[in-house]
């Protein structure tokens, strides 16, 4: 129901179709309802390998596939032989990126997103992000995720660099998405303001509701209604303020995912939902990979039910 070929997705990016600000479902007066029959958002449920960071990358892929996912988002590092090894180093060659893409597809998963692992204001950000774009193209990945420092972000620098990077990303069939991470870019609204000023379809917003609630203690539901037109993907995680202030997997926290996804439920676009946190709150994280698989399965089933419910409601 939520599948799409990689070639179709990349074609959409190249033609700029993903940049169209189509109307979306919502009860807010600022959100108009489109004709829904042909405008379902194609939510692509992708588990990140990040929750499997204490296991080898290959084990992450098999576990995610066994949990019922057809899509994946690459995490940052994995334990390989007792050492933390990047999924793909910042300076990795396009040949190396292509090889990891092949490994991922051989495991039965389509990769949708990868981390940039650099803040946009970092001295080497332009160089690294340009290489990440080339890596993503070689691997057949449509989105590169970046975000700012939790203490703040240099807005002017971001805008200058994103204006340079947007055309490069588009030329290579890739989109850079920026998510909330505390500081001056802690809300979707703040990220969307930057994206609007950049004004390039190669630079859009990733929405991380858990981070909005965690870093700024704000309800993400009013926030997403201020930025939904710029959102092209989600980092899926939940959050609780009680009995412990803690991020957790979807369904274990206080965020209403029906209301979170409702504004973008009828855009007609592909919309990666990348599961960054699948863990239970309060209890220790599992040390057995099979238990992580079970949590991934639970998270997938929960969000699938949300998507199904929104379609029925629509």
pLDDT at 116: 98
pLDDT at 138: 98
Classified as helix, coil or strand, 111 is strand
Take residue 86 and report the two structure tokens written for it.
Answer: 């990047």
In our burial notation (b when 16+ CB lie closer than 10 A, e otherwise), range 17-37 reads: ebbeeebbbbeeeebeeeeee
pLDDT at 36: 53
pLDDT at 37: 58
Distance of CA 88 to the CA centre of its chain: 17
User: What is the secondary structure of 44-74 as a DSSP string?
Assistant: EEEEESGGGTTS-HHHHHHHHHHTT-SEEE-
Domain-embedded: residue 153: yes
Average of per-residue pLDDT values in the chain: 90
Q: Bridge partners of 147? A: 179
pLDDT at 259: 98
How far, in Å, CA of 300 to CA of 13, rounded?
Answer: 26
The pTM of this model reads 0.88
Domain-embedded: residue 255: yes
258-292 confidence digits (pLDDT tens): 999 999 999 999 999 999 999 999 999 999 999 99
Those residues with Cβ within 8 angstroms of residue 132's Cβ, 6 or more apart along the chain or in another chain: 90, 114, 116, 118, 144
The residue with greater pLDDT, 7 or 245, is 245
8-53 confidence digits (pLDDT tens): 444 434 444 333 333 333 333 344 444 555 699 999 999 999 999 9
pLDDT at 151: 82
Looking at residue 182, which CATH number applies to its domain? 3.20.20.150
Q: Model confidence at 313, in pLDDT bands (50, 70, 90)?
A: confident
221-237 confidence digits (pLDDT tens): 999 999 999 999 999 99
Pairing of strands 83-86, 42-48: unpaired
Domain-embedded: residue 41: yes
Would the pLDDT of 1 be above 70? no
Domain-embedded: residue 63: yes
Domain-embedded: residue 234: yes
pLDDT at 14: 43
Q: What is the percentage of the chain residues whose pLDDT exceeds 70?
A: 87
Total domain count, the chain = 1
- Which residues constitute the domain of residue 151? 6-313
To which residue do tokens 């274990």 refer?
Answer: 252
pLDDT at 38: 62
How far, in Å, CA of 269 to CA of 273, rounded?
Answer: 12
pLDDT at 8: 42
Q: Model confidence at 257, in pLDDT bands (50, 70, 90)?
A: very high
Mean pLDDT within 207-231: 98
129-188 confidence digits (pLDDT tens): 999 999 999 999 999 999 999 887 789 999 999 999 999 999 999 999 999 999 999 999
Domain-embedded: residue 1: no
């Amino acid at each position: 129901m939520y599948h799409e070929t990689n070639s179709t997705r990349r074609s959409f990016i190249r033609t700029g179709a993903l940049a169209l600000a189509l109307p979306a479902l919502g009860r807010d007066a600022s959100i108009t309802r489109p004709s829904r029959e042909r405008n379902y958002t194609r939510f692509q449920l992708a588990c990140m390998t990040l929750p499997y960071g204490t296991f080898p990358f290959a084990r992450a892929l098999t576990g995610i596939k066994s949990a019922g996912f057809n899509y994946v988002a690459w995490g940052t590092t994995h334990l390989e032989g007792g050492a933390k090894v990047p999924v793909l180093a910042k300076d990795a060659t396009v040949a190396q990126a292509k090889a990891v893409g092949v490994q991922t597809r051989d495991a039965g998963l389509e990769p949708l997103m990868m981390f940039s692992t650099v803040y946009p204001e970092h001295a080497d950000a332009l160089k690294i992000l340009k290489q990440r774009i080339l890596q993503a193209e070689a691997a057949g990945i449509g989105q590169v995720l970046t975000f700012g420092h939790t203490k703040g972000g240099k807005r002017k620098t971001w805008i200058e660099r994103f204006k340079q990077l947007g055309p490069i990303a588009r030329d290579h069939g890739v989109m850079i998405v920026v998510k909330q991470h505390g500081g001056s870019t802690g809300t979707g609204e703040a990220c969307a303001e930057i994206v609007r000023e950049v004004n390039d379809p190669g630079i859009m917003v990733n929405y991380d509701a858990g981070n909005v609630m965690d870093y700024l203690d704000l309800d993400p539901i009013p926030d997403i209604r201020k930025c939904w037109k710029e959102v092209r993907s989600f980092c899926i995680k939940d959050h609780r303020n009680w009995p412990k202030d803690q991020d957790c997997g979807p369904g274990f926290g206080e965020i209403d995912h029906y209301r979170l996804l409702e504004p973008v439920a009828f855009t007609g676009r592909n919309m990666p939902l990348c599961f960054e946190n699948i863990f239970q709150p309060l209890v220790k994280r599992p040390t057995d990979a099979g238990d992580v698989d079970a949590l991934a399965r639970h998270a997938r089933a929960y969000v699938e039910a949300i998507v199904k419910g929104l379609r029925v409601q629509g």
